[in-house]
Amino acid sequence: MYKFLLVLFLLFSTLYSNEPIQPLPKIVKYDREKALLGKKLYFDPILSKDNTISCASCHNLELGGVDNLKFSFGIKGQKGIINTPTVLNSIFNFRQMWDGRTKTLAHQVQFPITNPVEMGNSFQNLIKTLKNNSYYNETFNNIYKNGITIENIGDALEEFQKTLITPSAFDDYLRGDENAITSNQKKGYELFFKKGCVSCHNGINIGGGLYAQFGLTDEEMAHNLTNQSTNDNVTKNEYNPDLGLYNITKNDFDKFYFKVPTLRNVALTYPYLHNGRIETLNETISSIAKAQLGLDLTKEETFLIEEFLKSLNGKVTIIE
């Protein structure tokens, strides 16, 4: 019961805050020199131990910032244990990662670089490799007083990621262009509000701004969806990705809490959920409505919300 009250509270507090959803800012400031260095790093497998995997291998900018796999592959064909979220617009998330374990994009990059099933590198080895590369050695030394350090690698990658924002038809609509989205999309947006999705998916990223329990109103459904993913994990790991925030705090109340994901470009970033368990957006919407709001949406409602979510697809312009 208290969970329903919590949803109601979230809903009312968002509805009565000024604007629960804001358009992407038209300009995000970034340092061009650093961003160009970050771009080079982003696409360069030199970051991985055996020179085979780049950030772009898992976060393909042509594919909505993901790879459309349930779990990505790192060095030596190793499979990950949690679905790859998009990098697009991630500068607007209040924290990074499904469990929000890190705040800044600059710090975030330290995780994939050293994760044994992703890039499998060490900072020491990476810094040595970059120092032996004349482009990186010169460029880092020109831009940063202290040259190549793990913090500066993170900083350059963060500057590049600030450019990865995707203005969409929906942003034009929010700014007053009534014709930017279709009438079905408008109906879907209305439902998105009325049904309460907006209580969690709000802000510039329509998500990315708070933690919420997966399975708030239907734990059984959420657990059925998660148990399955744990069973087919290939890597036996102490870290149970299905437990979310609990992994950081070890506080029982935090079990199954995740950062609410952004819904920008969500029509492109299948499969869905932290465990990549659901293939289609349509099924995700109806399952999430049940798991997070205790609602059985009709086919028509699910269709309309899906149409609305498609208006959040945007185009990324890669800096030259």
* 126 binds ligand HEC, rule: CB under 6 A: no
Peptide bond into 271 cis (omega under 30): yes
8's enclosing H/E stretch is helix 2-15
Interacting stretch for ligand HEC, rule CB under 6 A, among 24-32, 106-114, 132-140, 144-152?
106-114
Is residue 89 close enough to count as binding ligand HEC by CB under 6 A?
no
Closest to ligand HEC by CB, 177 vs 239, is 239
Residue 307 touches ligand HEC, criterion: CB under 6 A = no
Q: What are the DSSP calls for 14-52, one per residue?
A: HHTSS-SS-PPPS-----HHHHHHHHHHHT-GGGSTTS-
- Rule CB under 6 A: is residue 65 a binding residue for ligand HEC? no
Is 43:56 a contact under the CB 8 Å cutoff?
Answer: yes
Is 19 among the residues known to form the active site?
A: no
Out of 189, 269, 304, 314, the only residue in the binding site for ligand HEC (CB under 6 A) is 269
Q: Both tokens of residue 197?
A: 């999705």
Which one of 39, 255, 274, 310 is in contact with ligand HEC (CB under 6 A)? 274
Separation of alpha carbons 302 and 313, rounded Å: 18
Q: Is 170 exposed, middle or buried (0-12, 13-18, 19+ CB in 10 A)?
A: buried
- For ligand HEC, the binding residues in 141-180 under the rule CB under 6 A are 157
- What span, in angstroms and rounded, lies between the C-alpha atoms of 212 and 256? 8
Q: Which is nearer to ligand HEC, 177 or 203 (CB)?
A: 203
Alpha-carbon distance of 215 to 234, in angstroms, equals 25
Residue 172 tokens, joined: 């034009």
Query: Whole-number minimum distance, CB 28 to ligand HEC, in Å?
Result: 15
Q: What is the spatial distance between Cα 66 and Cα 59, in angstroms, rounded to a whole number?
A: 4
Determine, following the binding rule CB under 6 A, whether residue 21 of this chain makes contact with ligand HEC: no
Q: Residue 300: exposed, middle, or buried by beta-carbon count in 10 A (0-12, 13-18, 19+)?
A: exposed
Q: Which of 19, 33, 62, 118 is catalytic?
A: 118
Those residues whose C-beta lies under 8 Å from the C-beta of residue 204, and which sit 6 or more positions away, are: 21, 22, 23, 24, 25, 89, 92
Subset of residues 34 to 53 that bind ligand HEC, contact rule: CB under 6 A: 47, 53
Which residue, 34 or 176, is less far from ligand HEC as judged by CB?
34
The stretch among 128-136, 137-145, 164-172, 286-294 that binds ligand HEC (CB under 6 A) is 286-294
Residue among 150 and 180 whose Cβ is closer to ligand HEC: 150
- Please report how close the Cβ of residue 247 comes to ligand HEC at its closest, in angstroms: 9
Phi first, then psi, for residue 282 (nearest 5°) are -55, -50
Which residue in the set 37, 55, 106, 245 belongs to the binding site for ligand HEC (CB under 6 A)?
A: 55
Nearer to ligand HEC, 4 or 135 (CB): 4
Give the residues across from 244 on adjacent strands: 257
Interface positions with ligand HEC (CB under 6 A): 7, 47, 53, 55, 57-59, 72, 74, 80, 82, 84-85, 87, 90, 93, 96-98, 105, 108-109, 112-113, 118-119, 157, 195-197, 199-201, 212, 214, 216, 258, 260-261, 263, 266, 269, 272-274, 284-285, 288-289, 292-293, 305
The set of catalytic residues is 118
